[in-house]
Amino acid sequence: MPNHVAGILLAAGESKRLGQPKQLLDWKGKPFVRQVAETALASLLDSVIVVTGAAAAEVSAALDGLPVTLVHNPRFAEGQSTSVQAGLAALPPQARAALFLVSDQPQLPVALIDTLRAQHAASSAPIVATLVDDQRSNPVLFDRVTFPHFAELQGDVGGRALFSRFQVTWVPWLDASLSIDVDTLEDYERLKRAAG
């Protein structure tokens, strides 16, 4: 497929401040990570990779039966950069772009993923990113031209470190709940209230 776009779901974090794996928090009867994976699979993405780390066995079990590629990042404690790199290393060779997803956006709509993918297909922009209330948010799509630069990332740094080096095409999205990072139980409650 000449325009293969893969989803990379980052689900390796330790959730230290939360005190439990955020990937496994409940969202309408499903773990966060499964809900995001199902959304990605329902979208126009051509394949979905899930990077595990902390609580890998439980996260893998939460994804049981889904047609995703599981990749374990043994270096997850070193920060997000290692999970991003593990996900990119697992991409199929024909992948033209990767869309990074995070596990604490269970309310993510299929339509946003498809809009980001369509914007990339139309423009071949190096980076296509979500904009919520004038703030950058996830998910973010990276064209393969950016992939070599991910090797330079270290520690708890993700792809946003490349925003200053490549042209970014912004996709405005009207859903303030997408800007909520679930790092504490209070954040979790706020997300449930905001997203209904």
Per-residue pLDDT tens, the chain, 196 aa: give them. 568 999 999 999 888 888 889 999 999 999 999 999 999 999 999 999 999 999 999 999 999 999 999 999 999 989 888 999 999 999 999 999 999 999 999 999 999 999 999 999 999 899 999 999 999 999 999 999 999 999 888 877 788 889 999 999 999 999 988 988 898 999 999 999 988 6
Structural domain including 28 reads: 4-195
Q: What is the pLDDT of residue 158?
A: 83
CA distance 35 to 195: 14
CATH number of the structural domain spanning residue 107? 3.90.550.10
Query: Which residues partner with 102 through β-bridges?
Result: 10
CA distance 65 to 21: 21
Phi, psi of 170 (to 5 degrees): -95, 140
Tally of structural domains, the chain: 1
Please report, as a single letter, which amino acid is at residue 29: G
| Contact status, residue 133 vs residue 93, Cβ threshold 8 Å | no
Please report, as a single letter, which amino acid is at residue 193: R
Q: What is the pLDDT of residue 2?
A: 63
CA distance 111 to 34: 18
Look up the pTM and report it.
Answer: 0.95
